[in-house]
Amino acid sequence: GNSVTQMEGPVTLSEEAFLTINCTYTATGYPSLFWYVQYPGEGLQLLLKATKADDKGSNKGFEATYRKETTSFHLEKGSVQVSDSAVYFCALSSPSGGYNKLIFGAGTRLAVHP
Amino acid sequence: DAGITQSPRHKVTETGTPVTLRCHQTENHRYMYWYRQDPGHGLRLIHYSYGVKDTDKGEVSDGYSVSRSKTEDFLLTLESATSSQTSVYFCAIRDTPENSPLHFGNGTRLTVT
């Protein structure tokens, strides 16, 4: 079946450090890939997405590239801020099931300190 | 922000009692979802709906039922709550085009004592 694996957290960084959160997936066919972010006490918000191989999603300084050859969708940011502290979820939706079932990784907590 | 309202936001209930959580949307989206969030598990799909009176099970549907009698409302019912159902429950909606992202409500924190 389809699945998503994320690196375990928490990830603790100093402000302005480089961020990478690893995400790999298992899926049949050609899934769409997403990164969501959850701030304390809130629901998840879409951060970025990519729908086909070699697509790069980007938003708010975050980027992720859909790598079919390595089945990965790693999240990166060149310079993190304290306000980026949150939980980040990698997710996929697959053509099998009509894109109805979004499957999430376990989440990676990021803590950025001044 | 997508117009999604979950109610109640917090609830404490006793084992064996029925509980209904409500999700209300103002976006007229076709698809609605119920997820639960637990530490170490991310979000897991309970049930989803692809139209009025059209629902299907997710990966953790045991002990839960849903109903959707109107486009805007999606109800999640725990017929007889158990302590293992203590969790944060999120409703989400999605527009019709394939690959449309989900938009989430702010969650309901349910504690079963």
Q: What is the pLDDT of residues B39-97, one digit of tens each?
A: 888 899 999 999 999 999 998 999 999 999 999 999 999 999 999 999 999 999 998 87
At B101, the pLDDT band (50, 70, 90 cuts) reads confident
* A103, B55, B104, B112 from B85: Cα distances, Å: 20, 21, 20, 7
- The minimum CA-CA distance between A66 and chain B, rounded to whole Å, is 14
Over chain A (114 residues), what is each successive 10-residue block's mean pLDDT? 89 97 91 94 93 95 96 97 97 75 91 96
* Contact residues for B78 (Cβ-Cβ < 8 A; gap 6+): B18, B19, B20, B63, B64, B85, B110
- Do B43 and A34 lie within an 8 Å CB cutoff? no
- Please check the confidence at residue B2 and state whether its pLDDT lies above 90: no
DSSP-assigned letter for residue B85: G
Structure confidence at residue B15 (pLDDT): 97
Structure confidence at residue A99 (pLDDT): 61
C-alpha span between A73 and A101 (Å, rounded)? 18
Structure confidence at residue A94 (pLDDT): 82
Taking residue B96's Cβ as centre, other Cβ atoms within 10 Å add up to 9
C-alpha span between B92 and B94 (Å, rounded)? 7
Give the chain A residue nearest B89 (alpha carbons). Answer: A43
Instruction: Considering only CA atoms, give the Rg of chain A.
Output: 14
- Do B56 and A100 lie within an 8 Å CB cutoff? yes
Among the partner-chain residues B4, B41, B48, the one whose CB lies closest to the CB of A106 is B41
- Do A32 and B44 lie within an 8 Å CB cutoff? no
Structure confidence at residue B85 (pLDDT): 97
Structure confidence at residue A29 (pLDDT): 80
- Do B101 and A34 lie within an 8 Å CB cutoff? yes
- Please check the confidence at residue B36 and state whether its pLDDT lies above 90: yes
Taking residue B102's Cβ as centre, other Cβ atoms within 10 Å add up to 27
Structure confidence at residue A95 (pLDDT): 74
